[in-house]
Amino acid sequence: MISKLFSWFSKDLAIDLGTANTLIYLKGKGIILTEPSVVAIKEDGKLKKVIAVGDDAKKMVGKTPGSIKAIRPLKEGVIADFEVTEAMIRYFIQKVHNRGYLVKPRIIISIPSGTTQVERRAVKESAESAGAREVYLIEEPMAAAIGAGLPVTEPIANMIVDIGGGTTEVAVISLGGIVVSHSIKVAGDKLDEAILQYIKRKYNLLIGESTAEQIKIQIGNVLPEEPYETMEIKGRDLVTGVPKTITITSKEIQEAIKEPVDLILQVIKQVLEDTPPELAADMVDRGITLSGGGALLKNLDRLIQKETGLNVCIAEDPLTCVALGAGKALDEIDRLKEVMIENI
């Protein structure tokens, strides 16, 4: 009776707790919130006061006075600041439930496959402290594969490459379980960092993280062709200290991001090498599915196809695959319980 009463008052949620963005799926409604995983806090002695979360906090990055910090509480897919992550999850739960304080939803949260027991417990405890009634965890590659519409419970190979903000997850899934997986802390953030460092080194120009991200989105290309795309960027000259504008090309960005892209290719090849022969045979027909924001990097699918010899397709909506998959697992919790993580 009590659980029925709870289900009237609470709407169950699936959370894709990403390093760069947090997406929330509300049972029966679909994805209803996509906001940056950024929290602005004001420090007063030992006290931390949250003053903005999500979009509002991201606008403050790099522009705050000394007493305010805009931070990302998740680093490389794991919780770096427990207290702030809890505040962020609580804020999102209340926002989704129109600031209702009585709600205690069931929550399913996606986490990188390479996380430790301690890191998993931290995610679970954060959600419980933020007001969740029950917390389930699902590995990101599994959620991404479900969200991309792959038949994960069938006895065939489903290979997924999920390139997020903090981690790249590569997995082969069959019969509702992950057969082989590798997780590396090289993804969208490392591409931004590589662009930032390249421009600093080559042009003595200092740019911010959001400018680097814009460059990646606009002219990032792993197989650029002439005439190369160009983009005008503004930053601070490290020699004179004054603002300066330069023009860069997609060929330069290819050079800038070569190292992190090569690392992602290496991990894909490693998973292919570790895949059992019967499943490897399936992959010749079924190919590889790309998801996550990194899947949108121009020509990355072509480059992976060229390097592996397998067909590569991009999921229909790569940015929401993990949240959609976690949401589907929530909607069909009895049938898909086997794909969740047990024993946390």
Residue ranges of the domains in the chain? Answer: 1-35+76-146+319-344, 38-71, 147-186+259-318, 188-257
Structure tokens at 85: 């992550």
Confidence tier at 99 by pLDDT (50, 70, 90):
low
Lowest mean pLDDT among 59-68, 183-192, 223-232: 59-68
Hey, do 1-35+76-146+319-344 and 147-186+259-318 end up sharing a CATH topology, with the first three levels equal? Answer: yes
Residue range 1-35+76-146+319-344 forms a domain whose CATH class is alpha beta
Does the pLDDT at position 100 exceed 90? no
Confidence tier at 27 by pLDDT (50, 70, 90):
confident
Question: In the CATH hierarchy, which fold is given to the domain comprising 147-186+259-318?
Answer: Nucleotidyltransferase; domain 5 (3.30.420)
pLDDT (tens digit per residue) in 274-302? 999 989 998 999 999 999 999 999 999 99
Which is more confident, 233 or 57? 233
Confidence tier at 194 by pLDDT (50, 70, 90):
very high
* Close Cβ partners of 324 (under 8 Å, ≥ 6 residues apart): 25, 30, 31, 146, 147, 317
344: three-class secondary structure by DSSP: coil
Interval 157-184 mean pLDDT: 93
Does the pLDDT at position 8 exceed 50? no
Q: How many CB atoms lie within 10 A of CB 63?
A: 10
Does the pLDDT at position 197 exceed 60? yes
pLDDT (tens digit per residue) in 43-89? 777 777 888 888 888 888 777 777 788 888 888 877 888 888 888 88
pTM assigned to the model: 0.89
What is residue 101's predicted lDDT score, i.e. its pLDDT? 53
What is residue 343's predicted lDDT score, i.e. its pLDDT? 52
Confidence tier at 102 by pLDDT (50, 70, 90):
low
> Does the domain formed by 188-257 have CATH 3.90.640.10?
yes
What is residue 7's predicted lDDT score, i.e. its pLDDT? 45
DSSP summary character for residue 46: T
Ramachandran area for residue 283 (φ above 0: left; ψ -120 to 50: alpha; else beta) = alpha
